[in-house]
Amino acid sequence: MHERAFHVKPAAMTTPVLRGSGPEGGRPYHPPGSRARMTKTKRTSSRARGTADPHGEAEPKYHERGLLRGLQVLTAFSVERPEHDLGSLSEALDLAKPTLVRLLDCLKFAGFVDVDPRSGTYRLGLRAFEVGAVYQQTATLDRVGRPVLAALAQSTSQSTNLAVLDRGQVVHVSLVQSPRPIRYEGYVGLREDAYCTGLGKVLLAALPADELDAYLRQVVFRPRTPNTIANPTALRRALAEVARRGYALDDEEVSIGLRCVAVPVRSAVGATVAAVSASGPKAEFEGKQLKEIVAAVTRAADDVRDRLGSAAGAANGRLLSPAWSGIAPHETLVRRA
């Protein structure tokens, strides 16, 4: 009997959907506390179209130039110069003060810039920290987690993943394929629905009650297989079982013949910051072999936790992410309930 590759086609990278409006009766899901808003924009006239520069690239349109200028304002702040008044910003960026005031008002409204009411000086806001922490957290997870995933893949002969929760979906931030042809295949950056994956159920089980309630009210359940969880009541029961036993199981809920075991990665204070998983053929995730895989994935999750703590300490705090400092943006991480 010839062995054949067990390829699972990754789900399309789609935005999670809510009931109510938009395509297929839904709209993008934004967890409580997120700053996402819908705004109306005017059409740009044909006169606002860009013209070619000497290097052959088109000059950005008016609204795009506005965005670029806003980003330039943010980059004017640094460790050496964390604060600016209007005059110093105008000089540093070579922008007229009226234009700069409008840009700063937008950035202040979005939380990217704060202003001192007494001195009138500007500095970066908390939202800038949160966005930077998204990159910092995922980059650190990939760097720290990849050798752990490689060892786990070697010892279990399964594909291994490290993921975080983002806007109701699981995002794979590091992945190592099984060293054999029969395996699950995915890719870094892959988004999947949380309710039908082992990684997602581990992360959802750690959500505070109000955030889980919001997720369950708004998420649309789409059956991938006959085993896919199809309603909030069933998901609540599944998450309660995940919390009780300490790991989640995807039992052919995404693809027939595929099973996955996932375990949370927790910080020193008990916050769930990510999840580790091993995925492969269902027949290899049963009985004694399943127990061995659960134990191996649990050890790997603990290893990632320890390495993250060591990385933060070695950097003298510079690698601390919101999860480790006690601030957990809804867009990136989840807290332990």
Report the DSSP pairing between strands 191-193 and 248-251. Answer: unpaired
Residue 84 has φ and ψ, to the nearest 5°, of -140, 145
pLDDT value, residue 65: 81
Report the C-alpha gap between 24 and 222 in whole angstroms.
11
CATH topology of domain 60-124: Arc Repressor Mutant, subunit A (1.10.10)
pLDDT in tens, 240-285: 999 999 999 999 999 999 999 999 999 877 889 999 999 999 999 9
Domain ranges of the chain: 60-124, 129-325
pLDDT in tens, 35-60: 333 333 333 333 333 333 333 445 44
Task: For residue 115, give the amino acid letter.
Answer: V
**How many residues are present in the chain?**
337
Q: Per the structure block, which two tokens stand in for 325?
A: 């400092």
Q: Per the structure block, which two tokens stand in for 95?
A: 């922008």
pTM of the model: 0.57
Report the C-alpha gap between 254 and 257 in whole angstroms.
9
Q: What is the mean pLDDT of residues 143-168?
A: 93
pLDDT in tens, 103-145: 999 999 999 999 999 999 999 999 998 887 777 666 788 888 9
**Confidence band for 21, pLDDT divided at 50, 70 and 90:** very low
Domain 129-325: give its CATH superfamily.
GAF domain (3.30.450.40)
What ranges make up the beta strands (E) of 145-291?
Answer: 159-166, 169-176, 191-193, 248-251, 258-266, 272-281
Q: What is the mean pLDDT of residues 5-30?
A: 38
Task: For residue 332, give the amino acid letter.
Answer: T
Task: For residue 333, give the amino acid letter.
Answer: L
